[in-house]
């Protein structure tokens, strides 16, 4: 029995050594696995850091591009503001031109109305002239000599006799006006022009006032 004691001891030592080797192997395997995991995490961290650095560069580029676009947008907005001011000025000028055009149209209409009135007056004067000419045969001149008056103001009964006269221009044209002694307008004619008549027949009563802007001939008639 004592001869087999060393065998048992050897078996115990072999078991102990086996356990130690097994534990060492397990420890080494755990360390190797942990190192692998740590190396993997470090590698992932480096990749993430590198990616972040790349993204940071891209971000700086985008920020620079954004700043450039912002400056361009400000220039466009400034130009647009200038264009709006120019458009407002142009609109104001157009409104002013339209107002002036309206005034011109109104003046043209006034001129047209005046032309129509002048034509109407000319027609009436022509008719009166024809009527006077047609009645000349009915009007008989008196034996009294015609009265030549310069331009001025005259009183009937003092400067000329109270008679019926045919008033005509002595060469020039002008206004021939007669007021009664009470200031009432009796005659208002233009003598000796295209706008007036060649002569005008009227009654000169005592106290009437004759005003003439040109030399006039008063011929007494019946």
Predicted local distance difference test score (pLDDT) of residue 123: 73
If we measure between CA atoms, which residue out of 104, 213, 89, 208 comes closest to residue 158? 208
Residue 133, both tokens: 């000419």
Please return the burial class of 182, using the count of CB atoms within 10 Å of its CB with bins 0-12, 13-18 and 19+. exposed
Are 170 and 217 in contact by the 8 Å Cβ rule? The answer is: yes
Alpha-helical runs (H) found in the chain: 5-135
Please return the burial class of 177, using the count of CB atoms within 10 Å of its CB with bins 0-12, 13-18 and 19+. middle
Predicted local distance difference test score (pLDDT) of residue 166: 95
Cα-trace Rg, the chain? 64
Q: What is the mean pLDDT of each run of 10 residues along the chain (222 residues)?
A: 55 66 68 58 70 77 84 86 84 85 88 84 70 55 80 95 93 93 94 86 96 94 87
Q: Could you tell me the maximum CA-CA distance found in the chain, to the nearest angstrom?
A: 207
Predicted local distance difference test score (pLDDT) of residue 216: 94
Segment (H or E) for 210? strand 209-212
pTM of this structure: 0.39
């Amino acid at each position: 029995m004592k001869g087999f004691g060393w065998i048992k001891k050897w078996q115990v030592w072999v078991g102990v050594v086996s356990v130690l080797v097994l534990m060492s192997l397990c420890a080494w395997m755990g360390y190797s696995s942990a190192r692998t995991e740590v190396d993997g995490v470090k590698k992932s961290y480096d990749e993430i850091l590198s990616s972040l650095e790349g993204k940071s560069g891209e971000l700086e580029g985008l920020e620079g591009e954004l700043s450039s676009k912002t400056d361009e947008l400000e220039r466009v907005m400034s130009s647009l503001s200038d264009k709006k001011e120019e458009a407002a000025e142009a609109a104001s000028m157009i409104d002013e031109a339209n107002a002036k055009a309206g005034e011109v149209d109104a003046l043209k209409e006034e001129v047209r109305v005046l032309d129509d009135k002048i034509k109407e007056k000319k027609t009436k004067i022509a008719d009166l002239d024809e009527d006077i000419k047609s009645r000349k045969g009915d009007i008989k001149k008196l034996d009294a000599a015609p009265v030549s008056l310069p331009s001025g103001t005259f009183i009937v009964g003092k400067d000329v006799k109270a008679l019926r006269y045919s008033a005509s221009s002595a060469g020039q044209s002008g206004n021939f006006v007669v007021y009664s002694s009470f200031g009432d307008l009796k005659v208002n004619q233009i003598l000796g022009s295209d706008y007036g008549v060649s002569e005008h027949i009227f009654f000169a009563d005592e106290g009437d006032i004759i005003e003439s802007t040109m030399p006039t001939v008063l011929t007494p008639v019946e």
